[in-house]
Amino acid sequence: MKVVLVNGSRRDAGCTYTALSVVAKELEAQGIDTEIVAVGSRVVKGELDAVVKEVGAKITDADGLIVGSPVYYASPTGEILMFLDRLFGAYGNELRYKCGSSIASARRGGTTSTVDVLNKYFQINQMPVVSSNYWNIVHGNTPDEVVKDEEGMQTMRLLGQNFAWLVKSIDAAKKAGIELPQGENKIKTNYIR
Residue pLDDT, tens place only, 16-58? 999 999 999 999 999 999 999 999 999 999 999 999 999 999 9
Percentage, residues of the chain above pLDDT 90: 92
Distances in whole angstroms, Cα of residue 110 to Cα of each of 10, 104, 114, 178: 18, 9, 6, 40
Give the per-residue pLDDT at 193: 59
The helix/strand/coil state of 126 is coil
pLDDT in tens, 69-89: 999 999 999 999 999 999 999
Distance CA 30, CA 3 (A): 12
CATH number of 2-176: 3.40.50.360
pTM of the model: 0.95
| 17 SS3 class | helix
- For residue 2, report the phi and psi dihedrals to the nearest 5 degrees: -145, 145
By the 8 A CB rule, do 64 and 105 touch? Answer: no
Average model confidence (pLDDT) across the chain: 94
What are residue 64's phi and psi, to 5 degrees? -170, 165
pLDDT-derived band of residue 190, with 50, 70 and 90 as boundaries? low
Model pLDDT, residue 191: 57
How many residues are present in the chain? 193
Contact (CB, 8 A) for 78 and 72: yes
